[in-house]
A = this chain, B = another copy of it.
Amino acid sequence: MGLGTVGGGTATVLTRNADEIKNRVGRSIEIVHAAAREINEQTLFDVNSNVKLSEDAWEVVNNPDVDVVVELIGGYSPARELVLKAIENGKHVVTANKALIALHGEEIFAAANEKGVSVCYEAAVAGGIPIIKSLREGLAGNKIEWLAGIINGTGNFILTEMRDKGRDFDDVLKEAQALGYAEADPTFDVEGIDAAHKLTILASIAFGIPLQFDKTFTEGISKVTTEDVTYAEELGYRIKHLGIARRTSNGVEMRVHPTLIPEKRLIANVDGVMNAVLVQGDAVGPTLYYGAGAGAEPTASAVVADIIDVARSFEADVNNKVSALSYQPDYQTSDKVVSVDEFETAYYLRLKVDDRPGVLAEVAHIFAEQGISIEAVIQKEPEVEGSKVSLILLTQKVQEKQMNTAIEKVSSTNISDSVTKIRLEHLD
């Protein structure tokens, strides 16, 4: 259902690699029925092909010849209703729909479990990278400590261009839109909503908590300036838009925000539209998964892998398959999701201060009072005599509410009229 970019790519890959797939699976996979909003001469499948064509997706979910329904329409509705109906009709479901899984996954998986069918969604997170499978199966012997991912290609393209070419955010965003990376309304990408959908899913698999999109903290990259990118570089860091999930003694942190990370980390060197997820397990240590996070065929690669998974264990019952979110439904944990005030992280701070003696001492004093240690400082010469100067601070790890109190104190004095705050993670 859905013959757009991903639907078209999926049909292409299934057709082109049909022999290869049959040799691996031991069963043929055949497209029998496809639905697109509009069927015309441009439709991928000719009306004379063996593929039945409908403009009404309900005909697919109600077709008794269909074993596996592939939902590539996107959005919440009618995707949710179609998927639930497919399950009710006893069909397995494969979807690339991150928004659907992040918000309605619990309902969908419960229905599937009751009916004894599979719902697979590898393509929903990081496109062609098999991160769902790696986390759910490949690392299943580990207690996952944290994970951090570049899981939105558009955002990573923008930040990479800002660093490589010194271009500013608005300028690169316009290019990304022209190249077709970003939607006309780029909010989902640059404000981190798309990444938050994906992070919600990864956190559930990693920690066994229910899907809780509404508790995922989200901050976009639209306020990142080339000035900050340059200072970060000077200090040995790159700014990346990361989705981070971490198990702490207070509960689980789920957060998407611009983050300074050391440039020598492999993930700091993941550039352009590419995605990568770094996972820290208690036994395996750090592992990283890298690849294309979007695009017709990379996403199709994950969709087809899911279809193959269904086909390879087609007659196995639900008790002999991997649980959708890794943990058995009855064994999900109720670990609390911590609020932003309780996040513990290091910080990059940029202040605009008067160019007079004693300013650094005053700032340092306020931070010391709040128990915040400063790790590194850059103070620049004023560009024009008497103008404000930039003061850059890197702090040690501290609770967000302590940091906010310190920033308020700084702002309430006449030291600095604005404080730019970007979180910093060492990822070690």
Contact = CB atoms under 8 A, between A and B. Distances in A.
Interface of A: 9, 13-14, 16-17, 20-26, 122, 128-130, 133-134, 137-143, 208, 266, 269-270, 281-292, 297-298, 300-305, 307-309, 312-317, 319-323, 326-328, 331-333
A323 to B, nearest CB: 7
B281 A287 contact: no
B137 A309 contact: yes
Given A130-B137, A288-B288, 8 more contacts: A21-B140, A23-B327, A23-B331, A128-B281, A137-B308, A284-B297, A285-B292, A320-B320
Contacts of A137: 130, 133, 305, 308-309, 312
Task: Give this chain's copy count.
Answer: 2
A141 B313 contact: no
Nearest to A142: B301
Contacts of A315: 317, 319-320
Contacts of A320: 312-316, 320
Given A292-B285, A312-B320, A315-B319, A138 B142 contact: no
A388 to B, nearest CB: 38
A292 to B, nearest CB: 5
A148 to B, nearest CB: 14
A327 B301 CA distance: 17
A298 B269 contact: no
Given A137-B308, A138-B305, A141-B308, A323 B24 contact: yes
A8 to B, nearest CB: 12
Contact of A281 (B270, B288, B301): B301
